[in-house]
Amino acid sequence: MLDGGVVNGLTLAISAGNLDLADVKPGDSIAVNGVCLTVTELDKHRFSVTVSQETLACTQGLDRFGTHVNLEKAMRLSDRLGGHLVSGHVDAIGVVVKFDAVGECFELIIQAPQSLLRYIARKGSIAVNGVSLTVNRVDGDQFSVNLIPHTLAVTNLQELSPGRAVNLETDMLARYVARLLNI
């Protein structure tokens, strides 16, 4: 849950919820809705971060106080990799086009900015508000992902609706390959 105030950017106090902060110290990184932020203060149940104007301009949702956010501590190199490599550097903001039940699951369709489309591929990876997901379909400037009940239960993606903005991070390897090929 976000609380905050503005001082040359934004200082946020974030309730950690179920996230164990026992191994976190000031200077460590925690992704908040997919945005990598540096912990400046903490106690057992909450931590603080400072968000620059640049980060606020490139992301969405960090200034929506009282909302639920997805939290993830930085991965250690010895940890198991269960998704794709996510750096917490949001590439762009997308917009939810459709969020409908399909059996027990939900189909989420997002409109992505033109600049990101070359990095989004069917069966590739994308992070939406910091949640690593598999792309099911790409159609023009939109892509779809399937959300299983567990993902909905443990993330804020359950709160999405058409028109909502989301933070998008494409696959890091795709960006490097495109850069190497100069495309």
Task: Give the confidence band of 153 by pLDDT, cuts at 50, 70, 90.
Answer: very high
pLDDT computed for residue 74 by the predictor: 83
d(CA 152, CA 146): 10
pLDDT computed for residue 150 by the predictor: 95
Higher local confidence (pLDDT), 63 or 140: 140
Q: Tell me the β-bridge partners of 19.
A: none
pLDDT computed for residue 66 by the predictor: 84
* Per-residue pLDDT tens over the stretch 106-118: 999 999 999 999 9
d(CA 168, CA 183): 20
pLDDT computed for residue 2 by the predictor: 56
Specify the domain boundaries for CATH 2.40.30.20 within the chain: 2-73, 92-181
* Per-residue pLDDT tens over the stretch 62-93: 888 888 999 999 877 777 766 677 778 899 99
pLDDT computed for residue 178 by the predictor: 84
- The tokens of 160 are what? 């999405």
- pTM for the full model? 0.86
| Matching CATH number, 92-181, of 2.40.30.20, 3.40.50.2300, 3.40.50.360, 1.10.540.10 | 2.40.30.20
Task: Determine the straight-line distance between the first and last CA of the chain, rounded to whole angstroms.
Answer: 40
pLDDT computed for residue 83 by the predictor: 67
**What does the mean pLDDT of the chain come to?**
89
As a CATH number, domain 2-73 is: 2.40.30.20
pLDDT computed for residue 7 by the predictor: 46
How far is the CA of 145 from the CAs of 47, 66, 157, in angstroms?
31, 27, 12
Q: Is the pLDDT of residue 6 over 50?
A: no
Helix ranges, the chain (H): 53-58, 149-154, 172-181
Task: Give the confidence band of 120 by pLDDT, cuts at 50, 70, 90.
Answer: very high
* Per-residue pLDDT tens over the stretch 30-74: 999 999 999 999 998 999 999 998 898 889 988 888 889 999 998
Judge whether 63 and 10 are in contact, CB under 8 Å. yes
> Comparing C-alpha atoms, which of 109, 110, 30, 16 is closest to residue 68?
16
